[in-house]
Each structure stands twice: as structure tokens, then as C-alpha cells.
Structure 1
């Protein structure tokens, strides 16, 4: 009975370690090439900034789209417009949620 509990505990610990490792490798990945496609604002969910670190050779804007990520040149005009579009959308959402909170209080 005790050995089965130890086995279950070992399996659970292994799952936690593997899950943590997979999560850390996904967040540590870096993009090495820019996309040549211009992305429409309405498809962009968000973005993150990739800086030059030891394993990443380029600065980039990583756009978040449904089901994927796309690497863009931060100096490109369309990239700047995409970032501005996302920032404005976020600002509007914050203002709307702030008004709802103020009216419900």
C-alpha cells in the first residue's frame, strides 16, 4: 500500500517537473527571422518585445494571433501601426472597465 502511494507521488512530481520545463522552454524561445506579411490590426491579440540576448540575434516584436505568434521588424511602419492599434484597443478596454466599476460602486 505504501509503495503504491510512493509511486503515485513520484509520477505526480515528474509531471510537475516536465510541465515546468516545457513552459520555461516555450517562454525562452526566440525568433530569428521577420515575417514578410503585413498583419491586419483586427487579427492582432497582443504583442511582446524580443530584445537581443545571448541566444536571440535580432530585436523583434512578436505579435500574438489566434493560435500562433509572428515575428515582425520593430522598425517597420506596419509593425509600429500594429503596436499602436493594440495599445489603443487596450486603453479603450481599460476606460470601459473603469467606467463600469465607477458606475457600479
Structure 2
């Protein structure tokens, strides 16, 4: 009887530890490299700022295009122009922009 209780408690503790581990390691989509392609401003729906904090290894701007996402170097002049273009369009008629840490 005592061994049954010990086995039950061990199983319960294992499940609690496992569920905590799974919750803390949810997959995070991070940019691993930058695109070298030029993106036309009129196709950009918005962008997300990715920072090195937490799980991501590089700072990046994630541009939202119809059906996909493209990672760009935040220090690039072209990227900064594209961000400005999206921000100006957003001011005029609304749009998407978000920050991810």
C-alpha cells in the first residue's frame, strides 16, 4: 500500500515538472538571418521588432507581407526606410506594427 502511494506521488511530481518544462519551452519564431532582397513598400502590411531578449539570437525587423514574413537587418538604411513607409501609411489609414521582446 505504501509503495503504491509513493509511486503515485512520484508520477504526480513527474507530471508537474514535465508540464512546467513544456510550458516554458514553447516554440518561439525567431529570425536567424536577414534577407538581402529589397521589399516594395506597397506590399508591406506591417512589421514586428524582434529583440535579442529571451530566445532570439539577433535583433531583427520582421516585415509582414501577404502570406509570409521576411526578416530584415534593423541597422540597414533600406530597412529603416521601409519601416518609415509603413509607419506613414499607418498614420494615414491604419495598419499593423508590433514589438516583440
Where on the TM-score scale, by shorter chain, does this alignment land: which range? 0.5 to 0.7
Name the residue aligned to 2:80.
80
Q: Which runs of 5+ in 2 are unaligned?
A: 1-22, 95-101
SS of equivalent to 2:70:
strand
Q: Which runs of 5+ in 1 are unaligned?
A: 1-20, 95-105
Name the residue aligned to 1:61.
61
Name the residue aligned to 2:32.
32
Structure 1 residues 7-46: aligned runs within 5 Å:
25=27, 28-46=28-46
- Root-mean-square deviation (CA), in Å? 1.6
Could you tell me how far apart the structure 1 residues matched to 2:72 and 2:85 are?
15
- Per the normalisation by structure 2, the TM-score is 0.64
SS of equivalent to 1:62:
strand
Q: Indicate the structure with greater helix content.
A: 1
State the Cα distance separating 1:93 from its structure 2 match.
Answer: 1.1
Which runs of structure 1 show a deviation greater than 4 angstroms over 4 or more consecutive aligned residues?
none
Q: Indicate the structure with greater strand content.
A: 2
SS of equivalent to 1:39:
coil
